Structure 1
Amino acid sequence: MSILVDNDTRLCVSGITGREGTFHAMNNKRYGTNVVAGVTPGKEGQDVEGVPVFNTFAHAVAERGANTAMIFVPPRFAADSILEAADAGIKLVIAITEGIPAHDELRVYTHLKRAGDVRLVGPNCPGILSPGKANVGIIPAAFFKEGNVGVVSRSGTLTYQIGNELAQRGFGNSSIVGIGGDPVPGSSFIDIIELFEQDPQTELIVMSGEIGGSAEEEAAEYIAASVSKPVVGYIAGFTAPPGKTMGHAGAIVSGTQGTAAAKAEALESRGVRVGRTPTQVADIAVEILGG
């Protein structure tokens, strides 16, 4: 199996007629993802390499049965696009867009929490890859194969790096999920780890975190209480100076809170082994699963 995206995914891409939207939607399609529609207001009736374009998500759902949305529109339009997809009945929304204003993210988060039946992954994330089944987003899928390791990460680049280290050791992946590095993520480590815990294909979970916030500490408590599968951690930013923003909007350390050392300690005190480099993560995976 896999989580979130698979052979049943019917993808609709918001912003498909833009340069980045077209490029990545077609990459996803070539991988084998069922890209059934695109949405760009005012361009209904056009198509992008055979994918029909609609004015609204509601029309895309009615005409093409879309069940998953990928958001590639500019930041100022992204929140409304996410909410439009949800209102149209789409249950999984993957927001790739970077730079969405924090108050817009909070508005979306609050609305979707009240609705209760729509899952948002992102924003500012690389998307989701279930090797051999579907790729929704910008993850370079070529060196990943199907297997038993689930990966969840705040950083897109580290997702690829750790995935590549695991691939070089012969491991494949059930699914790879980038949750993004913004202050108000739609899905947390806990949300995704819970799905991996329930997934029979996933035998090992790799969690790649970074400095800032408390998501990793919260995940450590959840893992100790509710996860039976082995979890390997990685925290980026051991050398980051306090108070400095490091790449992501959510990667800000305040005093001793949110440091890599504090996060690693929280995880290790609850039985999660933490690699100090992506290579060490792969070493630990080999030790746990063999290979």
Structure 2
Amino acid sequence: MNLTPDSKVIIQGLRASDSSLRAALKMKAYGTNVVAYVSAGRGGAKGDDIPVFDLVEQAQAAVGPLDTTVIFVHPYEVLDAALEAIDAGIRQLVIVTEGMPPLDMVRLVRKAEATETLVVGPNCPGIIVPDTLLLGTHPGELYTPGPIGLISRSSTLTYEVAQILTRAKFGQSLGVSIGSDLIVGSSFIQWLQILDEDDNTDAIVLVGEVGGASEEEAASYIAETIDKPVVAYIAGLHAPQVQLIGHASTIITSKFTEAAHPGTAQSKIAAFKKAKIPVATRPSQIPDLLKKSLKKKR
């Protein structure tokens, strides 16, 4: 994984009339080494003095090996764009686009696993290393460098937690949103492992939300594997419960015994408490729980 200022980044899906161009300019202004845009039919043009190419392989031939692509194309074009990037040797993909077809994402996940490619998203603001690198749409002004790793499924809630940490003098080593579509590329577990091995990270904040079982799985993984302090917050405590219907739901959720309705905020909170991981009842409590966890670790 290359998340340094030298990381060569391209942007797929540049259109002057939409948010992708604004995001691209924001990334460049933050210091990200954006070396090319890829937008079919617009090759030969320039966007803010950065060359535009029709194909990823054309961009690579012009600027050399590429580390990361940030994808903004239409949901039904994401799979083609991602596979094109992987075939060109890019091993870090950030998919900002929301609503990618689930079966397309299944194909992409299989390809990513076979090629050892890190996929973040879809439907996410990407990754930020404060004052170093922005891959996506995080508002960089809310982040500050420090030793706290921040992992989230949300978008705007991630920014809110980052701002709370910053105001409490808890800078961040990295902020990542794994995305909130039905199927996403990387998981809480992958990023927990990355941050646990990161020398710049002393503690981790995990922000989850209702739906799915990724938080329950993360809680078990933390209890068994992670050495660094972890603090959790689960959004959606007062969301209405949805009745599970059918054999598939029964099979998928049968391994969870903590609550009658796995996937709810209550079941996720119960999983973290069982793993003895502090859980904030509101985001403003996160700094105090971090202080206690770090003090206990010492």
- For normalisation by structure 2, the TM-score amounts to 0.90
Deviations 1:143-189 (A, max 9, x none): 21110000000001110011111111011110000100112110000
Find the aligned partners of 2:292 and 2:222 in 1 and give their Cα distance. 20
Within the alignment, does 1:269 sit opposite 2:267 as a pair?
A: no
Counterpart in the other structure of 1:35? 34
Q: Secondary structure at the match of 1:16?
A: coil
Relative contact order: is structure 1 or structure 2 higher (C-alpha 8 Å, sep ≥ 6)?
A: 1
Amino acid in the other structure paired with 2:11: V
Q: What is the rounded CA distance, in whole Å, between the counterparts of 2:230 and 2:58 in structure 1? A: 42
Taking only aligned residues, the RMSD between alpha carbons, in angstroms, comes to 1.5
Letter in 1 for 2:177: G
Indicate the residue corresponding to 1:205 in structure 2: 204
Alignment-derived partner of residue 219 in structure 1: 218
Work out the CA distance in 2 between the residues paired with 1:285 and 1:40.
44
Q: In the aligned structure 1, how far is the partner of 2:193 from the partner of 2:152?
A: 14
SS, match of residue 9 in structure 2 = strand
The residue identity in structure 2 corresponding to 1:88 is: A
Q: In 1, are the aligned partners of 2:206 and 2:233 still within 8 Å (CA)?
A: yes
The reply on whether 1:97 has 2:101 as its aligned counterpart is no
Aligned to 2:8: 10
How much has 1:64 moved relative to structure 2? 1.4
Structure 2 counterpart of 1:84? 84
2:125 corresponds in structure 1 to: 126
- Whether the 8 Å CA contact 2:122–2:184 is kept in 1: the answer is yes
Deviation digits for residues 57-103 of structure 1, max 9, x if unmatched?
A: 11212221321000001111111111111111001000000011111
What is the match of residue 249 of structure 1? none
- Match of residue 264, structure 2, among 259, 266, 285: 259
Once superposed, which parts of structure 1, at least 4 consecutive aligned residues long, lie more than 3 Å away? none
Contact 1:5–1:128 under 8 Å retained in 2: no
Q: How many residues align?
A: 278
Aligned partners of 1:43 and 1:77: how far apart in 2?
Answer: 16
1:142 aligns to what SS in structure 2?
A: helix
Equivalent-residue separation in structure 1 for 2:52 and 2:182 (angstroms): 32
**CA shift for structure 1 position 4:** 5.2
TM-score by length of 1: 0.92
- In structure 2, distance between residues paired with 1:287 and 1:161: 21
How far did residue 272 of structure 1 move? 1.1
Alignment partner, residue 229 of structure 1: 228
**Could you give the per-residue CA deviations for residues 22-52 of structure 1, whole angstroms, max 9, x where no partner exists?**
1001000001111000100121111100111
Structure 2 spans left out of the alignment, 5+ residues: 244-252, 254-259
Alpha-carbon distance, 1:201 to partner: 0.5
Counterpart Cα distance in 1 of 2:98 and 2:218: 24
Task: Output the amino acid matched with 2:138.
Answer: I
Secondary structure at the counterpart of residue 86 of structure 2: helix
Is residue 142–residue 159 contact of structure 2 (8 Å, CA) maintained in 1? Answer: no
Describe how 1:269-288 pairs up with structure 2 within 5 A: 269-288=274-293
Equivalent residues in 2 for 1:109-258 (5 A)?
109-115=109-115, 117-243=116-242, 256-258=261-263
Aligned residue for 2:80, secondary structure, equals helix
Q: Structure 2 CA distance, aligned partners of 1:39 and 1:8? A: 19
Q: CA deviation at 1:221?
A: 1.1
Corresponding position of 1:250: none
Q: What letter corresponds to residue 10 of structure 1 in structure 2?
A: K
Flag structure 1 segments of 5+ consecutive residues without an equivalent.
245-253
